[in-house]
Structure 1
Amino acid sequence: MLNRWFNLPEWNVGIFSFLLNFVWEIQQMPFYQIPAEFSHLDMINGCTLATVGDVGISIVAFWTVAGISKSRQWVHRSRRWQISSFILVGVVITIIFEALATGVLNRWKYGTSMPTLPFLGTGLLPLFQWVLLPPLVVWFIKRQLSEPKHSH
């Protein structure tokens, strides 16, 4: 029964997305304004919460492509358009969330070292995150869910 869970594409999207995005979130922290009173634990908790959001975005992007592809198994033989769509959904959601978080919700602020998109003001590192990590997530899923190779 547990093995059935491990073979669900969504489970794998969530796991690999969490692992890759958590490392990214930690590494991009210097590009944000961190309140002086924040402890290391506060920063780790913030990165963990952001990573959970990233997992949610990844799963929504996965389901969007699955809906268009009419198959949740699209990751096994992903086509370029599917990976591009997976990336695009993540980028669009990120632009919206970053605008809200740095704007009306005032959840975080970019540091002076964060490069941003002209007009939109979206940080480039969060955008690069959604261009670079989704193809890696797909690659890891393919490796994880592929049939074992038998050697003779």
Structure 2
Amino acid sequence: MPSDDWLSAIRRYLVVIALGNLGWEFAHMPLYTLWQTGTAAEIVFAAVHCTGGDILIATMSLMLALLIGGRPAWPREGFLPVAAMTVILGLGYTVFSEWLNIEIRRSWSYSDLMPTLPWLGTGLTPLAQWLVIPGLGFWLIQRSARRPCQNAEVRG
């Protein structure tokens, strides 16, 4: 078992997080009022800025999950608890951040097109974002961890 499995896994995860969130931020931008009121430059800035925040949230969620539930041989051992904890932390922060920035700070607002959870008021696309993209990242990690090591020495 290679000792750099965890490093490769984290790198794969962060690439998926960065690219996935950048695409997602642009894709769900029409569900925010900025899409109708902002200039093209403001929309691009918001998407890139939010992607940076998404990368930080995802990184900190993963690091905290690894510190709490990780094993030295992660991701080959203890994969599921770390993946689940990471997603739960990301979802929890997202609910808090959406509430804080919409209800308290009024930094952004949803358009009438944004489907929301009635009891929280949180948009469904931000919640889906924290299920789909980390899910894809963890799927890629697990898929890679299951492959036999291609650099393994053949002994006869």
Write the distance in 2 (CA, Å) between the matches of 1:46 and 1:72: 38
Greater mean alpha carbon deviation, residues 135-144 or residues 18-27? 135-144
Greater mean alpha carbon deviation, residues 9-18 or residues 25-34? 9-18
Superposed CA deviations along residues 88-111 of structure 1, whole A, max 9, x for unmatched, are 111000000000111211111001
The equivalent residue for 1:113 is 113
The RMSD of aligned alpha carbons is: 2.7
1:1-150 correspondence runs (5 A):
7=7, 9-34=9-34, 36=36, 38-71=38-71, 74-77=74-77, 79-142=79-142, 149=150
Per the normalisation by structure 2, the TM-score is 0.78
- 8 A contact 1:115–1:123 mirrored in 2: yes
Write the distance in 1 (CA, Å) between the matches of 2:139 and 2:122: 27
- 8 A contact 2:14–2:55 mirrored in 1: yes
Alignment gaps of 5+ in structure 1: none
- 8 A contact 2:117–2:124 mirrored in 1: yes
CA 1:90–1:32 in 2, change beyond 3 Å: closer, same or farther? Answer: same
Task: Tell me by how many angstroms 1:77 deviates.
Answer: 4.6
CA 1:77–1:141 in 2, change beyond 3 Å: closer, same or farther? Answer: same
Task: Tell me by how many angstroms 1:16 deviates.
Answer: 2.1
Task: Tell me by how many angstroms 1:71 deviates.
Answer: 3.6
Q: Identity of aligned pairs, percent?
A: 26
Per the normalisation by structure 1, the TM-score is 0.80
CA 1:127–1:147 in 2, change beyond 3 Å: closer, same or farther? Answer: same
Figure out how many residues of one structure are paired with residues of the other and give that number.
146
